Amino acid sequence: MAGVFGSSGRRTNPLGAISLVTGLVAALASAVLWIYRVQPNSKILGQYSAEVAAGGQLADQLVALAAILGLMAVLSSIMTSSSGEGGGSYFMGLVLGLVGLSYPLLDWLNVMSEPLRPSIL
């Protein structure tokens, strides 16, 4: 009976999982926005590509999603790392959260004023 209800020695880390998932979604949203900033003619979103490339409502929603989830990932990573548990999930959540915050922060600070063009120096 003790084997059924006993611990297997594994501990769960829900904040680490939240950090990892929110960081991954934020990084994906930010990556889509970076793709359309560098290559506005991209068609990865199909029929919604023109709206994102033109900076429409969907682009604003993706920026907000990346910012909110990126901030959640960073904060939950900090909380996870301060508790002493978490292994590598808090580090990955932190890195993905920062990647997710890259586009919204640069956009809100007006660092990017025109479409970026890849070029060789």
Q: Say what the pLDDT of residue 46 is.
A: 82
What is the residue extent of each domain of the chain?
A: 14-108
84 has a pLDDT exceeding 70: no
Contacts of 111 (CB under 8 A, 6+ apart): none
Give yes or no for a contact between 96 and 24, defined as CB atoms under 8 angstroms apart.
yes
Q: How far apart are CA 27 and CA 102, in angstroms?
A: 9
Q: What is the mean pLDDT of residues 73-102?
A: 83
| CA angle centred on 100, ends 98 and 101, rounded to 5° | 65
Contacts of 83 (CB under 8 A, 6+ apart): 15
**pLDDT of the residue at 121:** 47
